[in-house]
Every structure is written in C-alpha cells, then in structure tokens.
Structure 1
C-alpha cells in the first residue's frame, strides 16, 4: 500500500470513528446519560472529521440546529479535502 493510499484509508477510518462517536452521544441524549462534551465533538470534526460528523448529524438528527456545529463540520470537510489534495497531487 502506498503512503497516499494509507493516509486516505486513515482519513476514512477517522471519519467512521467520528460518525460512531456522534451516534454514541445521541444515544446518551435519549437515555439521559452523561454526554460527550461539545468541545470534543467540535475538535474531532474540525481535524479532518467533517464528513463523518456531518453524516452523523444528518443520520441521527444530532446537533443540526446549532450554527457553530454546521460551521465546524464545513471547516472539517475543507480540511479533509485540502489534506487529500496534498496527499494525492
């Protein structure tokens, strides 16, 4: 496996992990359990996890009303695309 393929695979796994983390947080909301702090959810999304966070937001209807989450999801998507651009160019 080439390095660019490995980085792409790592970004895919990272976004799947973010998707799962958002899903876990949504399930905690429904149970009334302790939640994952917003600063962690935002940080995970910003650092190349925008796609996973955005898909989780749509799938689980989680954090979709908060403008700053939508903004960070967008920025996370941009950081992922920029990273992929530099990896594959």
Structure 2
C-alpha cells in the first residue's frame, strides 16, 4: 500500500508539473478531469505539493480547497489501511 501511495503521488506530481510547463509554452494541456482522477486514486498529496511548488491551479477554488481536503483523506486512508 505504501509503495502504491508513493508511486501514484510521484506520477501526480510529475503530471501537474508537466501541465504547468505546457501552460507556459501555450501547448495543449492535460485535462482537469485527469488531474482529479489521479487525485481520487490516491495522488492528491502529489497534486497538492506540485500546486504549491509550481504555483499551478492555485486560483481555481476547486483545486485550492478540494485538493488539500482530498490529500488529508488520502493520508487518513493510508494510515488506516497500513
């Protein structure tokens, strides 16, 4: 379970960083639904850390408030099932 959590959060972090890079370059972006899907399957912590690192999606209220809540839920589930 811990290995899955680490891997999904690394993937989420990299995908969010990739989306920020694409945004700066004016290229086609990664769908928000994909970012949320990664968060829902356990990658919310990685998404939230990437949001803070890259200053990405921080003005979107759903990301600003939803991602930290989902990250706390993910961490709680990790503790509960570990």
TM-score, structure 1 normalization: 0.82
Deviations 1:28-67 (A, max 9, x none): 0011110001111122123221110011001111001111
Aligned residues: 82
Pairing partner for 1:46 from 34, 40, 49: 40
Matching of residues 1-89 of structure 1 within 5 Å: 7-88=1-82
Provide the alpha-carbon RMSD of the alignment: 1.3
TM-score, structure 2 normalization: 0.88
CA distance in 1, matches of 2:68, 2:53: 16
Larger Rg: 1
Deviations 1:1-45 (A, max 9, x none): xxxxxx111101110110000000000001111000111112212
SS in 2 for 1:36: coil
Q: Does the CA-based 8 Å contact 1:46-1:72 persist in structure 2?
A: no
Ranges in structure 2 where 5+ consecutive residues have no aligned partner: none
Q: Does the CA-based 8 Å contact 1:29-1:35 persist in structure 2?
A: yes
Runs of 4+ in 1 over 4 A off after TM superposition: none
